[in-house]
Structure 1
């Protein structure tokens, strides 16, 4: 069982992706459908996937749930709702009532885009995170290295919530910078209620000239501090296509985990995602 724990889809004729700006991201300004991903994933032995939100709007989540209810590899959805709403519990319940609502397994917000580096520490946000936990869902942390301290504080103060850190906290791979990211990641990993995705590294590296060696110090640090039992592979398709195709991402992750035992490797590439997202595959 191989699970891709992080990918996206979007249709620009349905809605804009406002984060796709500038010439560097221009290759992403087209439609990316599950029908394009599925054969690439299957060719790499991927048997199930987790699709993740990209915009701050519930309607996209409704559509992703319907996608999970149909044919194809999508087994779980990480969606979006406004954590700061007083009725966030009701909104989560409403999403669960939508077609495919049983596939809702997590919530995410683009905290990386919030100007306040301590957005996760706000009282209204924390209230929303507790509602996510009460609904039996995980919350995905999409943060930059400067926001990792707030993530550590939040995870520590909400021990009843389950968290997943996306993209290893987006370390500055291209610049070769490790601190304070490495120390903050270790602080986060010391908390038992958070897992980490081995994803998104190729687009934090030099898109045109990255090597597995460039990624290795960051991946190995994450595997050391979280241990293989709390690391999940994710492709971050189609964002990864800025730097690598789907097969290259899978092969890079396989090489980065080459020193693991067979049991540990299986956990990173499937077992851990099955546990985190409550998948019965």
Structure 2
């Protein structure tokens, strides 16, 4: 099994200003060593480290961790997709094989940014190097995301955190309609991750999470969804193992092949991870 979405950082209140004071559980350092025991217990053999800071220094930080820790099988980094010398930067980073794709925190941007011509052209540049692109957005931004992905044919996209539905209020109708539309694009995949953070952190109910899972699997099927933990952010609500067990419980109705797709095959193929034999 692989975990397609984790973060690592040496906490700095200025650099990591998105980690606010009400997030005390994650206002500290997190390294791969913090995951070894949990992964061993759950038989998870690797992860994809995703950028948490929007700088190219983040890429170097994650590459150094990957050199030191075998569990990091791939990296989703950050690069300025609107930069005039983008191709030069992509060519430079392409020599680092652990970098599989890129992400920008689109949830902090408006429609003008998401649909900016230079930004879209930047994403179009990724195909040349076989890079993936992670889509991080809130549910009310999905109409812009749909336009974005439709404007870049043949690019491999993955929607982080199911598009962050309003789990807490269970106001899912518009989100579900947008997920249906987005999933009609065969180049878009989805990460089953982070829904506990979108819920009431300490008082969520299983059915609230499963209602969201129902929508995702109805429209993406079982071959375009990949497991992710969003660790350590998930710790704002529950320990890692609680999230894993929740996903595993939902997947208990799946066939063996469908489970293999969710926990290994889909993520491994999407990110072109080495040393994994598909099941």
Q: How does the TM-score come out when normalised to structure 1?
A: 0.94
Q: State the shift of 1:119 in Å.
A: 2.3
Does the aligned pair in 2 maintain the 1:62–1:95 contact within 8 Å? no
Taking the aligned partners of 1:144 and 1:13, their CA distance within structure 2 comes to: 25
Q: State the shift of 1:179 in Å.
A: 2.1
Provide the residue aligned with 2:243 in structure 1: 249
Provide the residue aligned with 1:19 in structure 2: 18
Does the aligned pair in 2 maintain the 1:51–1:64 contact within 8 Å? yes
Taking the aligned partners of 1:14 and 1:276, their CA distance within structure 2 comes to: 33
Does the alignment pair 1:156 with 2:150?
yes
Does the alignment pair 1:63 with 2:57?
no
Q: State the shift of 1:159 in Å.
A: 1.1
- Would the alpha carbon gap of residues 15 and 163 (structure 1) be closer, same or farther in structure 2, given more than 3 Å must change? same
For 2:253, what is the secondary structure of its paired residue? coil
The match for 1:186 among 180, 183, 186 is: 180
* Superposition pairs of residues 23-34 of structure 1, within 5 angstroms: 23-34=21-32
Provide the residue aligned with 1:110 in structure 2: 105
Does the aligned pair in 2 maintain the 1:220–1:256 contact within 8 Å? no
Provide the residue aligned with 2:83 in structure 1: 85
Taking the aligned partners of 1:14 and 1:58, their CA distance within structure 2 comes to: 19
Does the aligned pair in 2 maintain the 1:89–1:135 contact within 8 Å? no
Taking the aligned partners of 1:174 and 1:192, their CA distance within structure 2 comes to: 29
- Would the alpha carbon gap of residues 118 and 222 (structure 1) be closer, same or farther in structure 2, given more than 3 Å must change? farther
For 1:175, what is the secondary structure of its paired residue? coil
* Number of aligned residues: 275
Q: State the shift of 1:14 in Å.
A: 11
Does the aligned pair in 2 maintain the 1:118–1:147 contact within 8 Å? no
For 1:90, what is the secondary structure of its paired residue? helix
Does the alignment pair 1:239 with 2:259?
no
Does the alignment pair 1:147 with 2:147?
no
Q: State the shift of 1:269 in Å.
A: 0.5
Does the aligned pair in 1 maintain the 2:32–2:69 contact within 8 Å? no
Taking the aligned partners of 1:118 and 1:135, their CA distance within structure 2 comes to: 26
For 2:97, what is the secondary structure of its paired residue? helix
Taking the aligned partners of 1:126 and 1:72, their CA distance within structure 2 comes to: 34
Taking the aligned partners of 1:15 and 1:278, their CA distance within structure 2 comes to: 34
Q: State the shift of 1:71 in Å.
A: 3.0
Taking the aligned partners of 1:261 and 1:91, their CA distance within structure 2 comes to: 43
Q: State the shift of 1:198 in Å.
A: 0.2
Does the alignment pair 1:3 with 2:2?
yes
Deviates more, 1:249-258 or 1:104-113: 249-258
Q: Structure 2: give runs of 5+ residues left out of the alignment.
A: none
Does the alignment pair 1:216 with 2:214?
no
Taking the aligned partners of 2:99 and 2:202, their CA distance within structure 1 comes to: 36
Taking the aligned partners of 1:139 and 1:156, their CA distance within structure 2 comes to: 14
Q: How does the TM-score come out when normalised to structure 2?
A: 0.95
Q: State the shift of 1:255 in Å.
A: 1.3
After superposition, the CA RMSD in angstroms is 1.4
Taking the aligned partners of 1:27 and 1:94, their CA distance within structure 2 comes to: 36
Provide the residue aligned with 2:132 in structure 1: 138
Taking the aligned partners of 1:61 and 1:25, their CA distance within structure 2 comes to: 25
Provide the residue aligned with 1:206 in structure 2: 200
